[in-house]
Amino acid sequence: MQKTLRTLVVLTVALFFSTCKVVWAINPATISVTVTIQNLSVSATGPIAFGTVTASSETVSGSASTVTNDGNVTETYSLSLTNPATWVAVQAAPSAAEEYALLAQFNSGAPTAASFTYANHALSTTSVASSATKFAGNQTGLSVAASATRSLWFRFNAPTSTAVTTQQTITVTITAAAG
Amino acid sequence: MQSTWNVQQRTKSNLNSILVFAFIYLFLLPNVWAGGLRCSIGEVVISNLKIGQTYSLKSLANLPLSITNTDNKPVTVLVEPLIPSEGELRQGASPIPDLTWASARPDSFVLAPQQTKAVELILTIPDNEALFSRKFQVNFWSHTLAQVGNLLAYGLNSRVIFTIDQVREEPGVVPTGDLSITFLPAEITLNKIKPGHEYRVEDLLHRPLVIQNTSNKKLSVELQMLSPQESATTLPQGYADLLSSGVLKLSPTKFTLEPGEKKSISGTVLFPKGKPLNGKKFMCVISAEVVNLSVQTQIYSRIYAHVK
């Protein structure tokens, strides 16, 4: 009798848990895909010229690159650079051989060299998003409306000295993201 | 965009110092170069992916990342998944823990001027139940490469935000959807709105809202107005929910589009008199959903209204 009772209890518990499993089972939810922001686009035109510069000098580009948000949503620009083979970008005044600094500023007209600061305008190999202060002049690369343009100016701080005699290439990248 | 300076340097030595002359040549002449890069996705939000599965956005929703070279010369394009930085994260997502979760196919190619290429974005979710109900973000960086003589390059960052379901996929299920529609304009800004006056959206925009079926099959579409909280978006700073203070009406809201067909949507917006709305800014979302498919697919247009 006791054995039968024990078996009944075990069966009842087993039935309870199996029922619970059915009650608690969750069906997989439907996958949904939402394009919350459509086309991104960025373009640029315009000359950039530095002419001839000497060691330890700083030079502001003679003209701007015009950057256009030709997408259909608001965009924020991030800036980065790629070092040439033997030079290294620094985010302070170059103080050693083979070091240089390249600074960028969004400004409607030609900015003065002094208006660039290493803290806010120096480029590095890490992409940095524009903000109210980052790369800001009297324009910013933050939340640029569709169809709007920005003028991007550069300041180049040459190395104090260099052993390089071959041609160098510095690449600046502007990446647009929504927002 | 990339700009390039070619810098030739020569050194001269004297007893005490080295003088360096850096000759920076002007390659970027006015009107000589112009162009850029365009892509079809700024941000996509995917809900309820399952652990242990691999998803292609192309097969999941017929949604490739279309990349167009708007430059006037050929460019080499790379599409790379990136782990977003803290400042790039949206909607409370965490950065993907491992870049092997995301890939693009193809991930590099050459585009002729004005050429467009479709790229498959692929997500692989590890078979790990600790990932149930988590939300992640990966960015796909499409960018051109600097090449000798090619002085322009550009970058675009597309955000992919996804959540993981709290259960596994059922065996044999192959979810498919089709988001082959465009919905333009993608952003609508209505300025100088006066409370008490009903405006026709197309009058303010000087053009109608247009939805187009870009596929080769018939699609059923449903429009919905969503508050930012109901949608997969967040309110920009300084903005409030348009639908809680104003009334937005659209017509039609349910229709079928033949392949290639365009549908113009009419709309009105009204903010009632008597509320202190002056100078306030509002936002909501219009969602166009392709219905009757096993994957729910939708595309957003945002409406911003600035009350006078």
Identify the pLDDT of residue B181. Answer: 93
Least confident of A69-78, B64-73, B124-133, B148-157: B148-157
Bridge partners, residue B301, by sequence: B286
Q: Look at A34 and B4 and tell me if their CB atoms are within 8 Å.
A: no
* Token pair of B122 as six digits: 């692929």
pLDDT of residue B205: 84
pLDDT at B147: 61
**In the structure, what pLDDT confidence band is assigned to residue A54 with cuts at 50, 70 and 90?**
confident
Q: Which of B30, B49, B287 sits opposite A47 (nearest CB)?
A: B30
B30 to A46: CB separation less than 8 angstroms, yes or no: yes
CATH of domain B181-307: 2.60.40.10
**What pLDDT shows up at residue A155?**
94
User: What is the dihedral angle through the alpha carbons of A56, A57, A60, A62, rounded to the nearest 10 degrees?
Assistant: -130
Please indicate whether residue B7 or residue A61 has the higher confidence score (pLDDT). Answer: A61
Q: Please report whether residue A111 resides in a domain.
A: yes
Chain B residue numbers with beta carbons less than 8 Å from the beta carbon of A174 are: 1-2, 154-155
Judge whether residue A166 has pLDDT over 90.
no
Q: Which of A18-32, A49-63, B222-236 has the lowest mean pLDDT?
A: A18-32
Greater confidence, B260 or A4?
B260
Q: What is the pLDDT of residues B58-82, one digit of tens each?
A: 989 999 999 999 988 889 999 999 9
Indicate whether B9 pLDDT > 50: no
Name the band, by pLDDT with cuts 50, 70 and 90, for residue B139. Answer: very high
Tell me how far apart the terminal alpha carbons of chain A are, to the nearest angstrom: 75
* B145 vs A98, more confident: A98
Which among B6, B141, B165 has CB closest to A169?
B6
Minimum CA–CA partner of B60 in chain A: A33
The reply to whether residue A78 touches residue B179, judged by beta carbons under 8 angstroms, is no
CA of B273 to nearest chain A CA: how many angstroms apart?
Answer: 30
CA–CA min distance A108, chain B (Å): 17
Between B241 and B11, whose confidence is greater?
B241
Q: How far is CA B304 from CA B26, B158, B263, B286, in A?
A: 43, 22, 22, 11
pLDDT tens for residues B170-186?
887 788 888 999 999 99
Q: What ipTM does the predicted assembly reach?
A: 0.84
| CB-based contact A31:B49 (threshold 8 Å) | yes
Is a pLDDT exceeding 60 seen at residue B151? Answer: no
Residue A14 banded pLDDT, cuts 50, 70, 90: low
- Structural domain count of chain A: 1
Residue B25's pLDDT is what?
Answer: 36
* A33 within a domain of the structure (yes/no): no
Model confidence over B74-116: pLDDT tens digits? 899 999 999 999 989 999 999 999 999 999 999 999 999 999 9
pLDDT confidence of residue B110: 96
Assigned domain for A62 exists: yes
Give the total residue count for chain A: 179
- Residue B242's CB is within 10 A of a number of other CB atoms, namely 25
| Beta-carbon separation of B47 and A29 below 8 A | yes
Of B2, B175, B287, the CB nearest to A173: B2
Interchain proximity A55–B22, CB inside 8 Å = yes
Q: How confident is the model at residue A1 (pLDDT cuts 50, 70, 90)?
A: low
- Identity of the residue in A29, A78, A176 whose CB atom sits nearest the CB atom of B48: A29
pLDDT in tens, B39-52: 999 999 999 999 99
Cα of A47 to nearest chain B Cα, Å: 5
Residue A48 is predicted with a pLDDT of 66
- Among B20, B38, B139, the residue with its CB nearest the CB of A54 is B20
The whole-number average pLDDT for the span A163-172 is: 76
Alpha-carbon gap: A36 to the closest alpha carbon of chain B (Å) = 5
Pick from A122-136, B122-136, B148-162: least confident: B148-162
Assigned domain for A3 exists? no
Question: B37-164 and B181-307 share one CATH topology?
Answer: yes
Distance separating alpha carbons of residues B293 and A33, to the nearest angstrom = 11
Looking at every residue in chain B, the average pLDDT score rounds to 87
- Beta carbons of B144 and B153 less than 8 angstroms apart: yes
Tokens at B281, concatenated: 């800014």
Q: How far is B244 from chain A (nearest CA, A)?
A: 21
Q: Is the pLDDT of residue B14 over 90?
A: no
Residue B29 — very low, low, confident or very high, per pLDDT cuts 50/70/90?
Answer: very low
B37-164 classified as CATH 2.60.40.10 = yes
Nearest by Cα to B293 from B171, B147, B163, B174: B174
How many angstroms separate the CA of residue B196 from the nearest CA in chain A? 28
CB contact under 8 A, B47 and A31: yes
At residue B245, the 3 state secondary structure works out as helix
DSSP-assigned states of every residue in B68-125: EE-SSS-EEEEEEEEPPPGGG--TTPEEPS-GGGEEEES-EEEE-TT-EEEEEEEEE-
Please state, in angstroms and rounded to a whole number, the distance separating the CA atoms of residues B99 and B129.
19
How far CA B53 is from CA of A98, B19, B48, B49, B134, in Å, comes to 49, 61, 11, 8, 15
Locate B179 and state its tokens.
């988001």
Residues of B with Cβ-Cβ distance to A46 under 8 angstroms: 28, 30
- Which residues of chain A make contact with B158, given a CB cutoff of 8 A? 40
With CB atoms and an 8 Å threshold, state whether B4 touches A158: no
Residue A157 lies in a domain: yes
Interface A–B counts its CB contacts (< 8 A) at 274
> How high is the pLDDT of residue B236?
87
CA distance B55 to chain A (A): 11
Across the interface, of A32, A127, A163, the residue whose CB is closest to B296 is: A32
The answer to whether A34 contacts B63, with C-beta atoms less than 8 Å apart, is no
**Quick one: B217 exposed, middle or buried, by C-beta within 10 A (0-12, 13-18, 19+)?**
exposed
A53 falls within a domain: yes
| Beta strand ranges found along B126-180 (DSSP E) | 135-144, 155-164
Model pTM? 0.83
Gap from A138 CA to chain B (nearest CA, Å): 21
- Rounded Cα distance between B66 and A128, Å, is 25
pLDDT, residue A47, reads 52
| Domain presence at residue A12 | no
Residue A175 token pair: 């990446």
Q: Is the pLDDT of residue A22 over 50?
A: no
Domain span including residue A69: 43-178
Suggest the residue from B156, B191, B306 to mutate for an interface test with chain A (most A CBs closer than 10 A): B156
CA distance A124 to A103: 9
Contact A34 B3 (CB under 8 A): no
A31 falls within a domain = no
Could you tell me the two tokens for B33?
């170069």
pLDDT digits (tens, 9 = 90+) for A28-52: 888 999 999 988 999 987 556 676 7
Average pLDDT over residues B9-32: 37
Of A172 and B181, which is predicted with more confidence? B181
Q: What is the mean pLDDT of residues B243-249?
A: 95
> Do A48 and A171 touch, CB atoms closer than 8 A?
no
pLDDT of residue B194: 92
Q: Which residues does B303 contact at the CB level (< 8 Å), separation at least 6?
A: B188, B190, B201, B242, B248, B269, B283, B284, B285, B286
SS3 A22: helix
Domain positions in chain B are 37-164, 181-307
Q: How far apart are CA B218 and CA B296, in angstroms?
A: 16
pLDDT, one tens digit per residue, over B184-197 is 999 999 999 999 99
pLDDT of residue B248 exceeding 80, the answer is yes
CA dihedral B187, B192, B197, B203 (to 10 degrees): -50
What is the 8-class DSSP label of residue A10? H
Mutate to test the interface with B, among A26, A27, A36, A48 (most CBs of B within 10 A): A36
Burial class of B79 by CB neighbour count within 10 A (0 to 12, 13 to 18, 19+): buried
